[in-house]
Amino acid sequence: MNKENMLKRAAANKMTRRSFVKAAAVAAAAVTGVSCGLDAKPEATKQKPNILLLFSDQHQADCMGFQNHPDVITPNLDKLAKSGTVFNRAYCQDGVCVPSRMSLMTGMYPRKIGVLHNPDESSVIDDVVSLQSALRNDGYYTAAFGKRHLKGEADLGWDYHRGHSRNETPGNSYWEWIEQNGYLDELLHDWSAEFGGRPPTEHLPPADLATRISKLPEDMTMEAFTAKETIKLIREQKNRDKPFFCWASFYRPHQPYNAQKRFLDMYEYSKWGQGTANGDAIKKPVTLNKSPDTLPPALREWHEGKNKVWRLDKAAEDEQLFRFYIASYYALVTEIDHHIGRIMQALDEEGLLENTIVVYTSDHGEFVGRHGMVEKCAIGHNVYEDTLKVPLIISWPDTLEKGQVVDELVELFDLHPTLLELAGTELPHTKYGIDAKSLTTTLTGGKSEKRKYIVSENWSQAAVITENHKLGIWLDPTEYARQWDFRSFGDMLFDRNEDPNEINNLAGVAEYSEIEKQLRAYYDEFKQKVPAIGKNEIVERAKTEDTNIKDVTFI
């Protein structure tokens, strides 16, 4: 019996987590002739799979070819999806970069860690065991390339890393690499699209909707840098006697939206059409012209032109701004896909493809014109599908199911216990425990326990998500967010079956009163199960600090 069939049979027999790990080890040993004891060393260590976590920032889950998007071109992600399992309803724990990444790497909810926005820090972050630390302790070589955006112990455990920013990898970052190669002016030109000019480009103001064509050569972008370092690690794997865990983290399609002209030229944006898949111009988002009056207060402010970058008031008068931004976003997704293709080719050429778990996901989504919005406006809401749902593909061709599509609710941070289990690595013992659930049963063809609901939560709003409905509950924003009148706007309830675009707010509608009551009860249950240890620490500290944390600028 080959390794794949053996594992499938074990899954059908409702194998336990420990028996799955043992079965994988035995199967690997049977193929190679290595001792099959779980404690056999060093041979058993060599049989562990490599793990490649391909990660982007702010990728709307629907913006991929295999999801039948009318425009977006992603041949390499499409191929990866066919080789593994696609989770159609994966959600981040908080639609902001740092909280989402911290949850992923610790397996803990933001409220427990005490990181609900990018600047947050609580003492809990010093009592966690990161995913990479657990793997490193079990014999893995660990590396990270690109944007990490982690804090405390969650960013420890790397054997080697090269970040995009100087503070993540002092002396060895992307920015310094760009300076060494003589392209700092071009980078600053691109960067100023969102942040305004810095010397020597101080005359450049932010671009409308933070969108400006890149001046960097194709092999000098942040995406190319992440791919270059990842491919180098793959090529050097033959010189190591241990498996690798590599976090290949792309900065895009996050703003500033600096697309390479080659990829932008794939998308016609001079007019609205039926979609480039039909050889036409890009298709107009269904809710692009939705009335701002139906949006929460923070999102309405952007439509009123109160933000110097997100000038949605100008875009409403000139939809070419929207078309240029949306096409640029699509082009950035295609650029990432291009580099993923290069990485996958390197895995294949080095003979590592069959025994490498490859994951593609993102920390959160983005509006891409839906609801007439740009970016994610994360401080002002945490409810819309566009920003909370993330792409999630898991592939290990020789061992896991292929071509599987899962529509059940899962959470992004479930990757933490899932990857440890697939690697045969014990869950770390931590002071506060792990909240995430392993997806291994689903990945091996078995049936996992169906979730009744999941919760995504920031300081302003908690979203309770079920199979068919979603409730956005406004929280007290006075502790951390700016003073928008959330309360008078009211909570938000959507029927995902009848209203997939989330236009009609049904909160307070009599016909949905029992559903609303049930979702509120779910949130109460969630709060009882998941203590707000870190969150409460930050709230208490804010009461005594002189700094007005409500004025912090969030990125």
β-pairing, 85-87 vs 392-395, is antiparallel
- pLDDT of 38 reads 33
pLDDT of residue 547 exceeding 80: no
Banded model confidence at residue 307, pLDDT cuts 50, 70, 90? confident
pLDDT tens-digit series, residues 427-440: 998 899 999 999 99
Average pLDDT over residues 45-67: 92
Average pLDDT over residues 358-375: 97
Q: What is the CATH number of the domain that holds 421?
A: 3.40.720.10
Residue-by-residue DSSP string for 73-116: --HHHHHHHHTSEEETTEE-SSSSHHHHHHHHHHT--HHHHT-S
Mean residue pLDDT across the chain: 89
Q: Is 4 domain-assigned?
A: no
Distance CA 178, CA 184 (A): 6
Average pLDDT over residues 515-530: 98
Q: Is 42 domain-assigned?
A: no
Residue 176 · residue 182 · CB < 8 Å:
no
Q: Name the strand (E) or helix (H) holding 392.
A: strand 392-395
- pLDDT of 482 reads 54
Banded model confidence at residue 43, pLDDT cuts 50, 70, 90? very low
Banded model confidence at residue 454, pLDDT cuts 50, 70, 90? very high
- pLDDT of 551 reads 37
Q: Is 1 domain-assigned?
A: no
Helix (H, G, I), strand (E, B) or coil at 406: strand
Q: Is 87 domain-assigned?
A: yes
Banded model confidence at residue 204, pLDDT cuts 50, 70, 90? confident
Distance CA 460, CA 458 (A): 6
- pLDDT of 201 reads 62
Q: Is 109 domain-assigned?
A: yes
Q: Is 189 domain-assigned?
A: yes
State which amino acid sits at residue 177: W
pLDDT tens-digit series, residues 399-418: 999 999 999 999 999 999 99
pLDDT of residue 34 exceeding 90: no
- pLDDT of 44 reads 40
pLDDT of residue 457 exceeding 90: yes
- pLDDT of 555 reads 28
Q: For residue 1, what are its two tokens?
A: 């019996």
Q: Is 15 domain-assigned?
A: no
Residues 6 or more apart in contact with residue 43 via CB below 8 angstroms:
29, 34, 35
Lowest-pLDDT range, 65-74, 150-159, 290-299, 350-359? 290-299
Domains: count for the chain = 1
Q: For residue 365, what are its two tokens?
A: 């989504």
Q: Backbone dihedral region of 412: left (phi > 0), alpha (psi from -120 to 50 degrees) or beta?
A: alpha
pLDDT of residue 46 exceeding 90: no
Residue 372 · residue 288 · CB < 8 Å:
yes
C-alpha distances in Å from residue 392, one per residue of 56, 64, 271, 296: 11, 11, 32, 28
Structural domain containing residue 285:
48-551
Average pLDDT over residues 535-543: 86
Residue 91 · residue 412 · CB < 8 Å:
yes
pTM comes to 0.91
Q: For residue 244, what are its two tokens?
A: 């690798």
Banded model confidence at residue 488, pLDDT cuts 50, 70, 90? confident
Q: Is 38 domain-assigned?
A: no
281 φ/ψ angles, rounded to the nearest 5 degrees: -70, 165
pLDDT tens-digit series, residues 226-272: 999 999 999 999 999 999 999 999 999 999 999 999 999 999 999 99
